[in-house]
């Protein structure tokens, strides 16, 4: 019987054998590098250059490049109620955005995550931003439905004004062998990943153009799967959909450059989310799958969702003002091998 992998979970209940140039043992242990211990790093205060900053996340008072600031931007993140979209939305707020719309399938999910994000940014963990400074709201939107996308963008415009920055993170992955892929699932996947990317980009651009927004940025979340074929899990339509998203982004970038709108794609590799963690924890096969994947990643580990923050803010902000039609891959080197 053909393995049925089901929504999002990837991962084979039948045995698959790795093939091709990569193998589970691709990492040569003698080539591993150890990061210097903190005792070997310069202590704060002794640095002759800009203030030495410890830690990777959160806000800080040290000198930093102004063009990375999201202050004054109106941001929209689809699929922002959870997962990578939620994390990228937080990164935009951490970088100064004070008007953020979270679009997701369910109104309660979208509103709930907006509330949670507001509490977080006003709390210690998010940087203790003064209460009421950041306005985050949730909007119901099904990106695969053109009317729903139009309605949500109208609502965002009424609430905040025209968007300057749109991240389309809504997307699904399913795993079935291509021979048995159910046609209705195939249509649904393309409707969300490909048609959704077009509907969201189009509404974003229409509003940016009609409101004479300068410096508009649209980021379509693609995947390294748009550049390579993942193994061992079978996911041909997902991979093809992400290749389509990548090329759609490049095409729109060329068409809309004259309007001052930049379009780029962001392609994550294997990210360790709560979803993937659960999958690994569930059974022995899950643990083996993680080992298999990590054996194929030159950096030897899956990415943390936080590893996307800098890339998202770069593409969203004026720091990337001469970057359009690009695909920024964040995959620990996977696609380079």
Ligand X SMILES: NC(=O)c1ccc[n+]([C@@H]2O[C@H](COP(=O)([O-])OP(=O)(O)OC[C@H]3O[C@@H](n4cnc5c(N)ncnc54)[C@H](O)[C@@H]3O)[C@@H](O)[C@H]2O)c1
Strands 165-168 and 174-175: unpaired
Contact letters for ligand X, residues 246-265 (x by CB under 6 A): --------------------
| Residue 140: CB minimum distance to ligand X, A | 9
Please confirm, yes or no, whether 52 is among the known catalytic residues. no
| Residue 5: CB minimum distance to ligand X, A | 15
Q: Which is nearer to ligand X, 10 or 129 (CB)?
A: 10
Q: Which is nearer to ligand X, 96 or 171 (CB)?
A: 171
68: closest CA among 97, 88, 90, 99? 97
Q: Does 105 bind ligand X (CB under 6 A)?
A: yes
From the list 171, 216, 249, 332, which residue makes contact with ligand X (rule: CB under 6 A)? 171
Contact 289, 11 (CB under 8 A): yes
Q: Does 230 bind ligand X (CB under 6 A)?
A: no
From the list 5, 10, 73, 78, which residue makes contact with ligand X (rule: CB under 6 A)? 78
Gyration radius from the chain CA atoms? 21
Indicate which residue of 5, 181, 199, 238 is catalytic.
Answer: 238
Q: Does 226 bind ligand X (CB under 6 A)?
A: no
Q: Which is nearer to ligand X, 62 or 275 (CB)?
A: 275
Q: 104 has which bridge partners?
A: 140
Indicate which residue of 148, 217, 223, 225 is catalytic.
Answer: 223
Whether omega for the bond prior to residue 232 falls within 30 degrees of 0, making it cis, is yes
Q: Which is nearer to ligand X, 47 or 274 (CB)?
A: 274
157 Rama sector, left if φ>0, alpha if ψ -120 to 50, beta otherwise: alpha
Cα 303 to chain centroid, rounded: 12
| Number of Cα atoms under 13 Å in the Cβ half of residue 243 | 12
Give the span between the Cα atoms of 188 and 184, in whole angstroms.
6
From the list 164, 175, 201, 223, which residue makes contact with ligand X (rule: CB under 6 A)? 223
From the list 201, 233, 264, 273, which residue makes contact with ligand X (rule: CB under 6 A)? 273
Contact 200, 37 (CB under 8 A): no
Report the interhelical angle of 274-282 vs 284-296 (nearest 10°): 120
Please confirm, yes or no, whether 270 is among the known catalytic residues. no
The residues binding ligand X (CB under 6 A) are 78-79, 81-85, 104-105, 141-144, 169-173, 192, 196, 221, 223, 268, 270-271, 273, 275
Q: Which active-site residues does the annotation give? A: 223, 238, 242
């Amino acid at each position: 019987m053909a393995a049925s992998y089901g929504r999002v979970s990837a991962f084979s209940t039948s045995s698959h054998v790795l093939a091709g140039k990569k193998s589970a043992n691709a990492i040569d242990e003698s080539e591993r590098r150890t990061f210097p211990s903190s005792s070997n790093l310069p202590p704060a205060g002794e640095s002759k250059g800009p203030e030495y900053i410890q830690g990777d996340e959160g806000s800080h008072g040290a000198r930093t490049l102004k063009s990375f600031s999201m202050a004054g931007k109106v941001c929209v993140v689809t699929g922002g109620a959870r997962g990578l979209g939620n994390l990228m939305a937080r990164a935009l707020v951490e970088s100064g955005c004070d008007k953020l719309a979270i679009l997701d399938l369910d109104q309660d999910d979208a509103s709930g995550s907006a509330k949670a994000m507001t509490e977080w940014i006003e709390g210690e963990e998010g940087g203790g931003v003064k209460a009421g400074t950041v306005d985050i709201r949730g909007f119901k939107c099904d990106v695969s439905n053109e009317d729903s996308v139009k309605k949500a963008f109208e609502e965002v415009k009424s609430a905040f004004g025209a968007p300057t920055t749109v991240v389309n993170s809504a997307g699904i992955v399913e795993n079935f062998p291509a021979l048995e892929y159910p046609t209705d699932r195939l249509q649904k996947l393309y409707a969300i990943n490909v048609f959704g990317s077009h509907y969201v980009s189009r509404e974003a651009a229409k509003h940016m153009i009609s409101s004479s927004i300068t410096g508009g940025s649209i980021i379509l979340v693609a995947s390294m799967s748009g550049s390579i074929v993942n193994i061992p899990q079978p996911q041909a339509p997902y991979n093809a959909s992400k290749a389509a998203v990548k090329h759609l982004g490049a095409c729109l970038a060329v068409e809309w450059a004259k309007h001052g709108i930049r379009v780029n794609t962001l392609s994550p590799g294997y990210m360790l989310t709560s979803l993937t963690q659960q999958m690994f924890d569930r059974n022995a096969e899950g643990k083996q799958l993680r080992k298999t994947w990590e054996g194929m990643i030159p950096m030897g580990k899956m990415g943390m969702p936080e590893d996307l923050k800098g890339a998202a803010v770069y593409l969203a902000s004026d720091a990337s003002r001469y970057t359009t039609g690009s695909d920024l891959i964040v995959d620990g080197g996977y696609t380079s091998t």
